[in-house]
Amino acid sequence: MKILKWILIVLVVLVGIFLIFSATQPNKIELEESIVIDAPASMVYAEISDFTSWTNWSAWHKLDPNMVSEYTGEPGTIGYTTEWKSDNPMVGNGRQEVVEISANEFMKTKMNFEGQEGDSYASFKLTEEDGKTTISWDMDGAETPFYLNIMNTMFKPMIIESYQKSLKSLKEIVESKPVAAEVENPMNLEVVEIEARNIISIKDSTNAEGISEKLKELYTELSIFMATKELESAGMPLAMYYHYSPEKVILEAALPYAGEVEGEGRIIAKQTPDGKAVMGIHYGDYNASEGMHYAIDEYVKANNFEYNICWEIYANDPTTVDSADVETHIYYSVN
């Protein structure tokens, strides 16, 4: 019995020493690794922002090529999610979701691993200089109970090694791809972020030669409606285009307004598109603006943007300025 008593005492002491030691260890895993990739930030961003591409460079995917992954949402957007299942204990089951993102600059994800309480976070920071990109990848792990802190100390070196292997593979993959030629931009086009605006509008159609007359007709109808409803103007007229050919043009004339109103008849109260758009400014006779539309269309294609809708804002009144000073702001909504 004395032997059992001493064995029990020794075990209690060892457990106590273990718990005391564990309590002195970090209560979560924090780390950051980086590498320089000889490529523009846009090429690196394309690989990290699309979870389906991770199968090519992630060390965890290489640990278990048979892991099952599911993807929800659109790459490059908040809420884009991947969930994975693996029989490999070093991979396990989990979920990762994009919670912050800025194209070609930054991405933060929230991770949850099965069997672990709390969420972990990872961030990618991209810094481009002279055509090369430094990518920094950090981890801010979930906090653990004091008696499990020792696991953080044990697993951190393995995670660091996986980070380093992943970044090395990412570098090799990106640098093996040809760098896209710089897109020509003689019209000084810009990619801008736009906010939605309240408008009243009428959708109609005409032929290419009848655009000006049709817009005059629609703006007159909209102006009468605004006056009747005592609405205050909140900007210059605009027009959205849905189809264009010499024989038929489908367009929507609109006037921005302040206040609240409901549409009546063919007059609709709505908002303009928001988000990213390619913008160009045409100075001079509106009938000569076709060249700007052509330039924007080519720029959109060269940058592999997905085009949604085109609209024009008539920034000043052609009847009050010289024809050479007439401004037409042209937007192509893209993603």
Which among 330, 255, 324, 322 is positioned nearest to 296, based on CA atoms?
Answer: 330
Give pLDDT, residue 2.
62
Considering the domain boundaries, does residue 323 fall inside one?
yes
Pair (118, 243) in one structural domain: no
Range of the domain at 223: 190-334
Give pLDDT, residue 158.
82
DSSP state of 267: B
Give pLDDT, residue 47.
93
Give pLDDT, residue 21.
47
Q: Catalogue the E-assigned strands of the chain.
A: 30-37, 68-72, 81-85, 94-102, 106-113, 120-129, 132-140, 190-194, 198-206, 232-233, 238-244, 249-258, 268-271, 275-283, 307-314, 327-334
Pair (203, 147) in one structural domain: no
Considering the domain boundaries, does residue 4 fall inside one?
no
Q: Is 246 helix (H, G, I), strand (E, B) or coil?
A: coil
Give pLDDT, residue 22.
47
CA distances from 235 to 130, 153, 170 (A): 41, 60, 47
Does the pLDDT at position 30 exceed 50? yes
Pair (125, 220) in one structural domain: no
Which of 118-122, 174-178, 320-324 shows the lowest mean pLDDT across its residues? 320-324
Block residue for tokens 């043009």: 249
Q: Give the CATH number of the domain where residue 128 resides.
A: 3.30.530.20
Write out pLDDT tens, residues 300-330.
888 878 888 899 998 887 667 777 778 999 9
Give pLDDT, residue 151.
65
Distance CA 31, CA 28 (A): 10
Write out pLDDT tens, residues 243-275.
988 899 999 999 999 999 999 999 999 999 888
More confident residue, 63 or 142: 63
Distance CA 97, CA 84 (A): 12
Block residue for tokens 């991405």: 107
